[in-house]
Amino acid sequence: MISTTVIEQLKQVETPLYYYDLPLLRATVSAAQTAADAFGYHIHYAVKANNNPRILHEISTLGLGADCVSGLEIELAIAQGFQAKSIVFAGVGKTEKEIRLALRQGILAFNVESLEELRVIAILAKEMKIRASVALRINPNIDANTHHYITTGLDENKFGIMMHELEDCLALINSSERALTLVGLHFHIGSQITDWNVFKQLCLKVNAWNNWFIERGIEVPILNVGGGVGINYQDPDGESIVNFSDFFGLFHRFLEPKPGQHIHFELGRSLVANCGSLISRVLYVKRGVKKNFAILDAGMTELMRPVLYQAYHHIQCLTPNRPTARENYEVVGPICESSDCFGKQVELPLLSRGDLIAIRSAGAYGEVMASRYNLRQPLQFYFQE
Ligand SMILES: *Cc1c(COP(=O)(O)O)cnc(C)c1O
């Protein structure tokens, strides 16, 4: 909920801007932490969902680890208070420079995605005389039932070690005792997963893989099951925080770690999505032949998800005391592309130029995907303390 006091303040400031509700962020992260603690689970925040320094600082203060996908994410996470030894590094395309940086910083684990990457890590680790802790990313071939752009756990996806390379990876780890230590198995099957049966399937696959390794005499200390928890974009006020107890409870029920094995998660969206809104003003209302357009001062350059993933975001008018009459609008941005649209047939109170609009649940994969296309203004921010 965006309070009337906040709305009064937003009226005074330039738009578009990202509004972040820090109390809601803290409540969300604490809820996740408490639920994870009940089972002794560890959470790493997936920095790519939102790397705003204020947000990172809040999350590191609450004691989470970080899941990074670039060298600069690792550096920023450390600068904002995350411990290097609780950082994991994923991604199919780690550069030598990034691998060296991660080795120097002494991160918890490289989540390795190919045999060739493992070879490069071994060479650099030897050269630097620093042992690299590695987890093997296994692609469990599970359909996450989500948008195909954010499905990552199928055989046809680029992620994870190809099965025919796995034996060679193990042989390389065995023969590189002074350079590589195998610390875990890593899985991540996609994002915005709302069908939790998918997570049950994941647990069963993780159990099977864990047993496969144990049969070969390898018991890894860490099972990292990734992230992907979906949030409720339809009703951000009704369900502002995911039911983390149910989520972790499901893993507790179906996952069968061996004694002493630690379970790690990498949550991004579910921790930050609902604490952010993109605030915008109506520039013009255009009455078209078949429909009405509400033209905002925010566009795909500030929030790309609707264009990239055909994603739904709840759109609301913040201006108080609007007439009760409502109308459907195609809510669009100013960018010179027809794709630049936040929603079709959005029912809103009769709009006028200057009305304040909130596009909700924009805290994840929003700000981080912004671009300067059309030479847009740098982003502005408003933090609710
Ligand atoms: C993006 C990503 C995550 C986070 O996914 P969410 O859906 O935001 O929770 C976790 N792990 C890896 C490897 C990722 O690429």
Q: Does the beta carbon of 360 lie inside 6 Å of ligand 1?
A: no
Q: How far apart are CA 88 and CA 102, in angstroms?
A: 9
Q: What is the pLDDT of residue 154?
A: 82
Catalogue all structural domains in the chain, each as residue range(s) with its CATH number.
Answer: 22-272 (3.20.20.10), 274-384 (2.40.37.10)
What digits encode the pLDDT tens for the residues 200-228?
A: 999 999 999 999 999 999 999 999 999 99
Q: Does the beta carbon of 268 lie inside 6 Å of ligand 1?
A: yes
Supply 124's token pair.
């650099």
Q: Does the beta carbon of 366 lie inside 6 Å of ligand 1?
A: no
Atom of ligand 1 minimally distant from the CA of 266 = 10
Q: State phi, psi for 278 to the nearest 5 degrees.
A: -90, 120
Please state, in angstroms and as integers, the Cα–Cα distance from residue 3 to each residue in 21, 91, 96, 229, 236, following that order.
10, 39, 48, 27, 14
What separation in Å is there between the alpha carbon of 331 and the centre of ligand 1?
29
Q: How far apart are CA 335 and CA 337, in angstroms?
A: 6
The model's pTM: 0.97
* Residue that is written with structure tokens 């579910």 in the block: 270
Residue 149's CB: how many other CB atoms inside 10 A? 11
Q: What is the pLDDT of residue 148?
A: 87
Q: Does the beta carbon of 188 lie inside 6 Å of ligand 1?
A: yes
Q: Does the beta carbon of 266 lie inside 6 Å of ligand 1?
A: yes
Residue ranges, the chain, pLDDT below 70 = none
Beta bridge partners of 11: none
